[in-house]
């Protein structure tokens, strides 16, 4: 994604590269841990280093321009606390304060959805197909709803909510990317969102937060399925490598 449509301003470039660096670190670290062949290990290791450098450079640019969105500050604890009651897991009536890990995931998922709103807004403006435009517009609306729900969790704790980048999308409607490429990016980012929601669920002992993530994950899963169907109907869905279909081999014998 080295080139972006001219419907995005410079701050959008920086924040997209920032999230790309983060996503790359997560994905390539898994690739390194699973690789057995030396050449595959070296490849993923090099990709990991490049993602680290991308994230470092983007951090420096955002900090130097005063555009870095800082996460909430927490008081440094002066002692260790242990959970003494099961109401630590509650969240419907007697809500405890959010933990640092819960805040980190909520804040990060809000940021990614805010970036998704602007990205899908820009993509929808330059899409050629009516079906693709409607799909991208629907994704923008889902991301807006998710920002509202995640933002409410932070507001309830009197914590700051990250900014959005809607205003960074210009009025450009010039053709830049093909619908196929934009659909590929959109479905890939949708799949990544599911993994981040899963991480948020697993690190949220408070029941209401976990249930909230389950609801958000369901929205994303349905959206991803519709995206896959749209790509299949247009002949854009490349089938990944899979195991042999033994029953099919027997039938064709």
Q: Each residue of 144-165: pLDDT tens digit?
A: 999 999 999 999 999 989 888 7
pLDDT at position 5, please? 52
* pLDDT above 60 for 86: yes
Per-residue model confidence as pLDDT tens digits over 174-211:
888 899 999 998 998 898 889 899 999 998 888 889 99
Shared-domain flag, residues 224 and 164: yes
Beta strands in the chain (DSSP E): none
Shared-domain flag, residues 164 and 201: yes
pLDDT at position 141, please? 96
Shared-domain flag, residues 54 and 123: no
Shared-domain flag, residues 184 and 221: yes
Shared-domain flag, residues 59 and 90: no
74 in a domain, yes or no?
A: no
Stated pTM of the model = 0.84
Mean pLDDT of 13-19: 72
Percentage of the chain beyond pLDDT 70 is 94
pLDDT at position 2, please? 41
Residues ≥6 apart with Cβ < 8 Å to 130: none
150 in a domain, yes or no?
A: yes
What's the total number of domains in the chain? 2
Q: Is the CB of residue 170 less than 8 Å from the CB of residue 4?
A: no
pLDDT at position 3, please? 47
- Of residues 6 and 175, which shows the higher confidence score? 175
pLDDT at position 12, please? 65
Shared-domain flag, residues 104 and 173: yes
* pLDDT above 80 for 93: no
Q: What is the CATH number of the domain that holds 124?
A: 1.20.1260.10
105 in a domain, yes or no?
A: yes
* pLDDT above 70 for 79: yes
Shared-domain flag, residues 155 and 123: yes
Shared-domain flag, residues 133 and 190: yes
DSSP 172-215: -----S-HHHHHHHHHHHHHHHHHHHHHHHHT--SHHHHHHHHH
Per-residue model confidence as pLDDT tens digits over 22-76:
888 888 999 999 999 999 999 999 999 999 998 888 888 888 878 777 888 888 8
**Band of the pLDDT at 6, cuts 50, 70, 90?**
low
26 in a domain, yes or no?
A: yes
Q: Across 111-120, 157-166, 174-183, 224-233, which has the greatest mean pLDDT?
A: 224-233
Domain that holds residue 36: 1-68
Shared-domain flag, residues 89 and 161: yes
SS3 169: strand
246 in a domain, yes or no?
A: no
Shared-domain flag, residues 28 and 96: no
């Amino acid at each position: 994604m080295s080139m972006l449509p001219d419907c995005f301003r410079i701050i959008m470039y920086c924040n997209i590269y920032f999230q790309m660096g983060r996503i790359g670190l997560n994905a390539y670290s898994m690739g390194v841990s699973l690789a057995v062949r030396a050449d595959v290990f070296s490849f993923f290791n090099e990709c990991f280093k490049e993602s680290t450098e991308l994230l470092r450079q983007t951090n420096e640019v955002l900090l130097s321009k005063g555009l870095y969105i800082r996460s909430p500050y927490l008081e440094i604890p002066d002692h260790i606390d242990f959970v003494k009651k099961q109401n630590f897991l509650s969240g419907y009536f007697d809500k405890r304060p959010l933990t640092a890990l819960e805040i980190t995931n909520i804040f990060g998922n809000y940021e990614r959805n805010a970036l998704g709103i602007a990205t899908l807004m820009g993509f929808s403006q330059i899409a050629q197909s009516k079906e693709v435009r409607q799909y991208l517009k629907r994704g923008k609306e889902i991301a807006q709803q998710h920002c509202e729900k995640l933002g409410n969790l932070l507001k309830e704790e009197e914590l700051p909510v990250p900014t959005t980048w809607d205003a960074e999308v210009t009025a450009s409607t010039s053709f830049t990317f093909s619908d196929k490429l934009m659909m590929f990016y959109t479905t890939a980012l949708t799949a990544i969102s599911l993994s981040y929601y899963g991480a948020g669920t697993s690190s949220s002992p408070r029941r209401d937060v976990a249930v909230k993530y389950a609801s958000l994950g369901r929205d994303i899963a349905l959206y991803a399925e519709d995206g896959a169907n749209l790509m299949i109907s247009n002949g854009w869905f490349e089938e990944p490598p899979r195991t042999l279909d033994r029953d099919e081999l027997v039938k064709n014998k």
